[in-house]
Homo-oligomer: A and B are copies of this chain.
Amino acid sequence: MKKFMNTADTMVTESVEGFVRAHAEFVVFGAERKCIRRRHLTPGKVAVISGGGAGHEPMHIGFVGRGMLDAACVGHIFTSPTPSQIIGAIEEADTGAGCLLVVKNYDGDVMNFEMAAEMVAARHRIEMVIVSDDIETARVGDGRGRRGVAGTLVVERILGAAAEQGMSLDRLKSLGEGLSPKIRSMGVALTGVTVPHTQRTTFSLSATEMEMGVGIHGEPGHSRKPFSAADTIVRYLCEAIAGDIASQPNAKALLFVNGLGGTPPAELYVAYDAARRFIENGGIQIERSLVGTYVTSLDMQGLSVTLALLSDEELALWDSPVATAALRWGC
């Protein structure tokens, strides 16, 4: 295992330290470094807060800034932040209008965010939106429901934009719950991921295999298939997504091709080119696009495709100004 790190124990803290120093115009550490928060909070605005395990960078800390998140907590690698960290973020970011917690659907994350919310319920108004865009987990049918993966970025952007425009906590919660069934993702891996502490890959693939339906924590997917051409792989992902999302003819959508950590931009654009053809052939209008490495699984070579059906109002929120380390436009 060759990674740019000093020790497995210090990797996350050094990476986050580097991030905060590189992007000091947007972010600062919260008290006791329990969270990363916006350098300039907006009094009276609902605070949008997220977090999760490390190993998914730039998510979530790269989304902290104007028009997206007010604070984010980073756990150990692939491990939820603690309730104490989440409470720290709530106390830092709540300027009086309450907090919306955006949580990926994993047992540990949901439990810790709920616990934190209960512990400060007397002092803070809190609502939660659970993101569960990964179609694969529902098919596995283990009863835990869908995982939250790259679609989390879309939820955080649109809710962050709405909060910036002054939307109330109740309306944000309702907007978030309306988004959830309209966002679907699926991933494919060409390699497993190497976890720094164990120095082992979570699963191994030969030079002629790929893993369909992977999550972002090094979990294997639902099936191993022979590696094939980009069109074949991407068609598989797009057909699975299209079969799992209720779209009207000429529905408007955001198409997001996300690199899982070790996939270069040139390959992501080949996949985007294929995905766009398949999705448009299915009668969906691609109104917005995002291609890049935003929601990773350490150094995994792989990608995910996310389709988000968005209303005109939601598209306008997507377009509104955002100024974070990883997403930036309009300001």
Contact = CB atoms under 8 A, between A and B. Distances in A.
A54 interface: yes
Nearest to A206: B2
Number of copies: 2
A245 interface: no
Interface in A24-46: none
A196 to B, nearest CB: 10
A252 to B, nearest CB: 15
A271 B4 CA distance: 7
Contacts of A298: 264, 266
B15 A267 contact: yes
Interface string A1-25: 1111111000110111111011100
Chain A interface main SS type: mixed
B1 A207 contact: yes
A272 to B, nearest CB: 4
B276 A21 contact: yes
A269 interface: yes
A6 B234 CA distance: 11
A230 to B, nearest CB: 5
A4 B293 contact: no
Interface string A159-190: 00000000000000000000000000000001
Interface of A: 1-7, 11-12, 14-19, 21-23, 54-55, 57-58, 62, 190-191, 207, 210, 227, 229-231, 233-234, 261-274, 276, 289-291, 293, 296, 298-299, 301, 303, 323, 328-331
29 contacts: A2-B190, A2-B191, A2-B207, A2-B210, A3-B267, A4-B267, A5-B230, A7-B229, A11-B266, A14-B270, A16-B269, A18-B274, A18-B291, A21-B273, A21-B289, A22-B272, A22-B276, A22-B289, A57-B264, A58-B265, A62-B265, A261-B264, A261-B265, A262-B299, A263-B299, A264-B293, A267-B299, A293-B293, A328-B328
